[in-house]
Structures are given as structure tokens and as C-alpha cells.
């Protein structure tokens, strides 16, 4: 809960320190969510290049020839960057010291990497029993829950494929389709941030931290719960392009674009028929239930519905259906979303300063609260930008930091 201190509003996670040993998307997305809520996120990176996302496209070049990665900027606002070479004993010792003062550790490297370096949960939790150690991996890392895939590497598309999402996306008879967004990474990061918030709450009661194990595979199966439930209860495997339970469902082509809707109930079907001026389609054997309509969408009923959409513009269809209380919306591209007046009212996009780009307009935090706090908009850090600052905070002198630099430990 946001509190007031000397008249100043503070964010919910102000005072929480997060050590983030992360790369690419899943870990950075998790720690970004924590940073947005006020956490002090210290991002630990390799001295030789840092997070591999720093080289990801799109690359923006300014007039001075300096380059910045849009891929990196997306997930790394409001953080501080420290470079440590964990191949050196000095670098590992600094990591242990940072972890001993952290509330939360987030990592999404291959399972066992930190363990192999002597920086696993078993070691770090001895120094800091309050530490909440969060590991995001492809297939899970807690020993008691390991399976035959646990040591496998994974990217988002692998998790989407194995988790059942891609099998239900795409056209009937066509190939499985990636969903167009890194759900395997982003949702795993969201799940991790949620689990961390719960663990912080629990720590207030017990005084103890915990090990949080987030699997991308698990996260995708959880998103595919509709398919899992259908198979569990009926033995039926849902397939892409074929909807057995509700209809009409899906994007429909209009005279100038596409709209998306689902007619979820029989009452909504009556409203839909009213909009089409086809009351004769209500109450027939082919339309009485969602499953019946679904079967007949591949027959004459589907042709009637699709022809009606194509006779109208997207705006006309939306007005007709919305006037009858039916949820409907246009299929929008990135430019249309970016320029949406409603989202401007929601203040979803935030302007984040950047030393290379100048200003990056990014998607900001989704949750809105009555506290009315403006979002944090601190720039994504340059590689190692805060190394001296953070090491000084744990007691190192300028001479000691210089000595570590001479050893290439930082």
C-alpha cells in the first residue's frame, strides 16, 4: 500500500533492494515490474558486453553516431547497472556481498549456473535467510520438482510450442502459429513478479525468505488452460481454426478491415441477429446453442455471418454491435494503438529519457491506482554506469574499486 511520509507519497516497493542477474526478456521484465513500483534494482552484467539484449534490434543511432538498442530499452528502465566478472573470485565475492544486502535476487540464466559458481540459494541464504531467490528457467529448477526437460535451454517460441498455445493458433489445416509476442518470457516474468510480491508479504509474517522456481513451460501451460480443461473433462483436443463451443468467434473481415468479437451466450446471439436484421436465425436447430452454431459456421450459417460483415465498414459494424451491448473491437496495428485517444487518456505510454535516443515513448505500467503517483521514468542504464556508486554503498573505497578494476573483476 502506498503510504505518506512527511507529505510525500512513496511507491509500494520503495526500500526493497533487488539484485538482478538477468538477460534478454524474462528476468528483465520481472525486475522492471518491481522497479516500476519503487524497488531499487541493481542489474549485474558481464563487463564484456553486458546483457546480450544490448545488441538486439531495433538499433537507433543518433546524430553523434552513438547507438542504443530498442530491444534493451524496452525492459530495463528504472534500474542501475553494475559490471562484475563472476569468473573471478573477487567478482563472486562482490556478488555475495550485494546479495547479502538484497531483499530479492532475480536470475534467468541456465539452471545451475550460479550454483556452479558457489552463488546458489543454499549458499546465499545462509548469509541472508531473508533473501527471496527467484529463478526463471525453461523447465524449472527446484530439485524436488525436476523432470526430464529440466536441464534443457529454452526460448519463448519453444515454451509456446511445447505448452500447447501454438497448436491452437492459426488457420485450420495450416501450420502452428507463434502468437506474435514473447508470452513465454513476458508471462513468466509477470508470474515471477507476482510470486515475489507474495513472498515479500509472507516474509513479513515469518521473517524468512524463500526460493521461487518459475518455469516458462509451466507458464505457457497455464495460459493454455482452456485446452487443458477441455481435454481433461472430455478427451477432446482443441485444434487451431476450429472452435467447438462458441460461435461466432474470431476476427471477421469487413469492407475496410477486420473486427474481433465472440458471441458467448444464446442471449448475445439474439442481439447479434437483431443487428444483422435476421431474427429468423434465432431459435433454430442450427443456432440454438453455442456448439450447434460452431458446427454450422462451416456451412450456410458461416456464409451468412461473413457476408454481413463484408457489407459494412469496421466502424459501422462496431456501432451496430455496441449499440446492442455486444463487445466488439477493430483489429489494430501498432500505429493505431500508439495513436489511440483512449490510451492517451489512460496514460499508458510513458516518455523515458535516454542518453542516446533522447526520449523513448514506451508502454508503461498497466495498473492504475487511486494514489495517483506518476510512473517512474528513469533511463535504462548504460553498461556499468552505476558500478562505483553501488560498490561504494556496500563500503568499498575508491582505492579498492580501482584495485578491482585493475584485476578486471569489475
Return the residue matching grid coordinates 448475445.
268
Cβ–Cβ < 8 Å for 404, 394: no
Known catalytic residues are 185
Among candidate residues 218, 49, 12, 71, the one with its CA nearest the CA of residue 135: 218
Residue 404 and residue 215: Cα distance in Å, rounded?
36
Residue 404 and residue 409: Cα distance in Å, rounded?
5
Q: Pairing between strand 79-83 and 40-45? A: parallel
Amino acid at each position: 500500500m502506498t503510504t505518506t511520509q512527511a507529505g510525500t507519497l512513496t511507491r509500494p516497493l520503495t526500500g526493497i533492494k533487488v539484485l538482478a542477474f538477468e538477460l534478454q526478456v524474462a528476468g528483465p521484465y520481472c525486475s522492471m515490474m518491481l522497479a516500476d513500483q519503487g524497488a531499487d534494482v541493481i542489474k549485474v552484467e558481464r563487463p564484456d558486453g553486458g546483457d546480450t539484449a544490448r545488441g538486439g534490434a531495433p538499433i537507433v543511432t543518433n546524430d553523434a553516431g552513438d547507438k542504443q538498442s530498442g530491444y534493451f530499452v524496452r525492459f530495463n528502465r528504472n534500474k542501475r547497472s553494475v559490471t562484475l566478472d563472476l569468473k573471478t573470485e573477487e567478482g563472486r565475492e562482490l556478488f555475495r556481498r550485494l546479495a547479502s544486502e538484497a531483499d530479492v535476487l532475480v536470475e534467468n540464466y541456465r539452471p545451475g549456473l550460479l550454483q556452479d559458481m558457489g552463488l546458489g540459494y543454499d549458499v546465499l541464504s545462509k548469509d541472508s535467510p531473508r533473501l527471496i531467490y527467484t529463478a526463471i528457467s525453461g523447465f524449472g529448477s527446484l530439485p524436488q520438482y525436476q523432470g526430464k526437460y529440466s536441464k534443457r535451454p529454452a526460448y519463448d517460441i519453444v515454451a509456446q510450442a511445447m505448452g500447447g498455445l501454438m497448436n491452437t493458433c492459426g488457420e485450420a489445416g495450416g501450420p502452428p502459429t507463434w502468437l506474435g509476442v514473447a508470452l513465454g518470457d513476458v508471462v513468466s516474468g509477470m508470474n515471477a513478479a507476482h510470486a515475489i510480491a507474495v513472498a515479500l508479504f509472507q516474509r513479513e509474517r515469518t521473517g524468512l525468505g524463500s526460493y521461487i522456481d518459475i518455469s516458462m513451460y509451466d507458464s505457457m501451460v497455464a495460459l493454455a488452460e482452456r485446452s487443458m480443461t477441455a481435454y481433461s473433462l472430455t478427451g477432446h483436443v482443441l485444434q487451431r481454426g476450429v472452435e467447438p463451443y462458441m460461435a461466432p468467434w474470431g476476427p471477421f473481415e469487413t469492407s475496410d478491415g477486420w473486427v474481433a468479437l465472440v458471441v458467448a451466450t444464446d442471449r448475445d446471439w439474439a442481439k447479434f441477429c437483431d443487428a444483422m436484421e435476421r431474427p429468423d436465425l434465432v431459435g433454430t436447430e442450427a443456432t440454438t446453442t453455442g456448439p450447434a452454431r460452431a458446427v454450422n459456421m462451416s456451412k450456410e450459417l458461416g456464409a451468412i455471418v461473413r457476408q454481413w460483415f463484408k457489407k459494412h465498414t469496421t466502424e459501422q459494424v462496431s456501432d451496430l454491435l455496441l449499440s446492442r451491448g455486444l463487445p466488439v473491437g477493430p483489429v489494430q496495428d501498432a500505429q493505431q494503438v500508439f495513436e489511440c485517444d483512449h490510451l492517451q487518456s489512460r496514460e499508458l505510454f510513458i516518455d523515458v529519457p535516454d542518453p542516446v535516443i533522447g526520449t523513448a515513448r514506451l508502454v508503461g505500467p498497466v495498473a492504475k491506482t487511486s494514489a495517483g503517483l506518476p510512473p517512474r521514468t528513469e533511463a535504462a542504464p548504460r553498461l556499468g554506469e552505476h558500478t562505483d556508486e553501488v560498490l561504494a554503498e556496500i563500503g568499498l573505497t575508491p582505492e579498492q574499486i580501482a584495485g578491482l578494476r585493475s584485476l578486471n573483476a569489475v
